[in-house]
Structure formats: C-alpha cells, structure tokens
Chain A
Amino acid sequence: MSQDITIHLTDRDGEVHKLIAPIDMQMNLMEICKTYELPVEGTCGGMAMCASCQCYIESDHLLTERSEDEEAMLSEAFFVRDNSRLGCQIQMTEAIDGLKVRLAPSE
C-alpha cells in the first residue's frame, strides 16, 4: 500500500507550500516542485549537472549523503551553504516525511 509524504517548501518569496509527494513513484524533490509548478527549472533534467534546483534543508531529517556528482556541482554553484542540497538528488522516501526546505536564490 503506497502512501504520500508531506514536504514543507518555502519559495523565493518566503511563501510556504505544503507539497504532498508519493513515495512509490521514484520521484525527487525537483520533480515534485515542477509538478506543483514552483519556479524550479531542473535544467539538466535531474543529473546533478546544474544547480537550478538548489535548496537549503531546514529540518533535521537524516538525508542520504551527497554523491560525488552532487558535491562537484555544489562546489561550482552559487549561494551555497552547509545545508545546501540539489533537489533532484533528494528522493521521496518515508524517512523525509515532514521535511522543511527552502529554495536557494535563482542564479
């Protein structure tokens, strides 16, 4: 039986959106944002090769570690902070139910 999780996302204007995301569709946060028509480009299609889906994690959920590709991209991204992640690398799983996240400024 599949279930949905909730993501609390703050957009670039400070508005908070409650995103309901399925966990059985192998979706990532960038794709969920696009589904909700939030201003996330996802230029590279989710391959950690652009930083258009960069976001800041604002809750203490334990996420999977950054991959080598994600580290490399974040090292060339702008407005990067310690809690920066690429949305396309965050998979929707039960473990991140209730995640609080904020979109990084667009480049």
Chain B
Amino acid sequence: MIKTDILIIGAGPTGLFAVFEAGLLKLKCHLIDSLHMPGGQCAEIYPKKPIYDIPSHPEILAGDLVKNLEQQIAPFQPGYTLGESAVSIEKSADNQFIVTTDKGTQHQAPVVAIAGGLGTFEPRKPPLARLDFFENKGVRYIIKDPEVYAGKKVVIAGGGDSALDWTIFLEKIGATVTLIHRRNEFRGALDSVEKVQELKNKGSIQLITPAEVTALEGDTKLVSLRVNNDGEEMTLDCDHFFPLFGLTPKLGPIANWGLEIEKNAIKVDNALDYQTNIPGIYAIGDVNTYPGKLKLILCGFHEATLMCQSAFKRIYPEKRNVLKYTTVSGISGFDGSLKQAVKSTIKAIE
C-alpha cells in the first residue's frame, strides 16, 4: 500500500504543480496517471506545440512546460504510479481514502485531488460494426508482447507514428504486415515514413492507400477485413487487426465515484477550495466545473494552490494557516536540498 498526504489523480500540469504547492506546506504527494509519462495532454497530444498564455512565459512548448514542472517539483520527491488508471475509491474507518488502480495497486491518503483533465486516455476506436465482439479475438488497440505476431497476417490502420513504428517493428520480427491509411500522406517522423517507403519498395510490406477498413468478418474470431480502396471493395485475410488512431480522453470510472457531475466534469465549490460534494476529495484543473469555469492551465495552477491550503487544514486541523513566500524562505526540499536567494553581503566602506 502506497501512503501519502495528498493523492493526486492525473499527472498533467495542474497535478504536477499541486505537488509544489503541497511541498511548501510540507505535504507529500503521490500521482497516478494512465499514461506512462507525466504531462497529460501536453505530453500525449501536443508536446511540440507552443503555449502563449502561461504567465511569464511569452512562449513555451507544452513538452518543455512539463519538463520545467517536473524540475520545479523534484525537491518535493513526488511518487508516481504511471501507466495505471484509478478505478475505485473507498473510505477506511480512520478517515483515509483507499484508491485502487486497474492493475490492483493500492494507495492511501487523507486527501484525494482529482486532476484528471478530460479523463483517462483511451484508444480511439473506429466506428465499425461488431468491433466490441472482436476485441481480443483479433482486434487490439495496444500491442503488447509483439513477438507473438511473428508469422501472422497483421493489418494496421492509421497514419501517425504508432502505425508507422509498429509496421516497421512487426515486419522486422517476421509478421506479414499490411498498412492501411485513408490517404497517401503520413503524419509521422520523417525517418519512419522513409523506412516504410523502403519496406514497401522492397515488397516486404503491403501498403494500401487511400483506403479504409469498412467491416470485420469472422464467426468466432477475426478472419478477414473488408476494405474500401479508393472506391473499390476488397477482402483482406488477416489474423490480427490493429486500428492505431491515437488516444482520446474519457472521464471513465471516476464518473461512478459518487461525485456530482455536470457537463462531463466534477462540480466543485469554487468559492472556497475546489472541494467536491465528498469532503476530502477535491477536483482541480480541466476536470472540474463551477460557474465561470475556464479550462486553462493557468487556472489549474491557481486551483491547485487553494486546494493545498484546504488540504493542509483538513490534515492538520489544529495547526494555523500557512502562507509561505518562496522569496523569503526559499525552498526546502524533502531531499534535504535548500534553494534560496544569495544573501547580500554587508560590508562597511572605510
């Protein structure tokens, strides 16, 4: 069981900054995120895009914003459970929350802060009939243990990096790979595009463009695909089909935690501390809603700051409020590090 002061669900910018504000109050944080790296949307969707509305950064790449936040919170030694989604929450007799992930990892904390953005990133699924039926019977959105596909007939659909990268990898380990994309142009790293071109030229893979999978066929498991290739219908035998269209966020299991939900977001008390209808559970950043809500990173930072103050009072009701100016006392990391301004030298001039 992982124990911490504030358990933060979602390691996007808001969740990361909450670690800093909590750290100033000597509260320890642990973050859970379904992605395998911190950063949320900034890392998954647009790491190379510039953001212009972060105070004091006239321009910053989303990926750099995340990197800076990680650096800023490092002294407070946050814990991470990455690549796992928080699925259930319960309250123990001693007023602690127990949050369990889809992989069974358990976390315990007196305060939970949901900073889940638009939700857990899940694969985008093409609207094909019987797709659900064929899931794990030939259809997968995430490729694990790729070695099992050696010698198999594999069809990949998509036009981005993961479609290209898996085409290259699966061909290399001896799968018979067909790549299908709705147009001839691919949006991926240039060397991957060139590598796929080379494989196609050599006849090592089959490339079908502009084309689209229109139907899945098979009785008990997937045996073939119907493909529309520039207006012409064709059937393609296949053992495995991987639609790789990236990820999209869905609120997911959090929606069933008994929290008040409005417009697919969690209602919070913005007049006070961004607490939800369940005392001790807060929601900050894009995941929450209140009158006048704006889904902006800078608003998430503010919400995280006020949440930490309230969490402190909840954890230490007997202690006084704490407001620290980092300009005065600097930053004392949990790792023993101390960052502070260089003291001015006072010396008489004789």
User: Residues of A with Cβ closer than 8 Å to B?
Assistant: 37, 41, 43-45, 47, 49-50, 52, 71-72, 75-76, 78-80, 105, 107
Are the C-beta atoms of B46 and A107 separated by less than 8 Å? no
Q: Are A43 and B41 in contact, CB atoms less than 8 angstroms apart?
A: yes
A76-B158, A79-B127, A107-B124 given as contacts; is B185 within 8 A of A45 (CB)? no
Q: Interface code B117-130, partner A: CB below 8 Å = 1, 0 otherwise? A: 01000001111000
Q: Contact at A47–B49, with CB atoms within 8 Å?
A: yes
Would you give the 0/1 interface string for B179-197, flagging 1 where the beta carbon is closer than 8 Å to chain A?
0011101010000000000
Enumerate B158-175 residues with CB–CB distance to A below 8 Å.
158-160
A41 proximity list for chain B (CB < 8 A)? 118
In the complex, which residues of chain B have a beta carbon less than 8 angstroms from the beta carbon of A75?
Answer: 159, 181-183, 185
Is B228 at the interface (CB under 8 A from chain A)? no
Contacts of B45 in A (CB 8 A): 43-44, 49-50
Residues of B within 8 A of A (CB): 41, 45-46, 49, 118, 124-127, 158-160, 181-183, 185, 187, 245-246, 248-249, 263
What residues on A are CB-neighbors of B160 within 8 Å?
76
Q: For the complex, what is the distance from the CA of A43 to the CA of B122, rounded to whole Å? A: 13
B246 contact set on A, CB distance < 8 A: 76
Task: Pick from B126, B159, B248: contact of A50, CB below 8 A.
Answer: B248
Flag if B185 contacts A107 (CB, 8 Å).
Answer: no
21 A-B pairs with C-beta separation under 8 A: A37-B263, A43-B41, A43-B45, A43-B118, A43-B248, A44-B45, A44-B46, A50-B248, A52-B248, A72-B185, A72-B187, A75-B182, A75-B183, A76-B159, A76-B160, A78-B124, A78-B245, A79-B127, A105-B127, A107-B127, A107-B248
Q: Complex: how many Å from CA A52 to CA B118?
A: 12
Closest residue of chain B to A68 (Cβ to Cβ) is: B185
Q: How far is the CA of A102 from the CA of B133 in the complex (A)?
A: 31
Chain A residues with CB under 8 Å of B181's CB are 75
- Residue numbers in B under 8 Å from A44 (CB-CB): 41, 45-46
Also in contact, A78 and B127, with CB within 8 A (given A41-B118, A43-B118): yes
Closest to B124 in A: A107
> How distant is the Cα of A49 from the Cα of B183 in the complex, in angstroms?
17
Within the assembled complex, what's the spacing in Å between the Cα atoms of A83 and B118? 28
Which chain A positions have C-beta within 8 A of B187?
72, 76
Least CB distance from B46 to A in Å reads: 6
Q: In the bound complex, how far is the Cα of B181 from the Cα of A72, in angstroms?
A: 11
Shortest distance between the CB of B28 and any CB in chain A (Å): 32
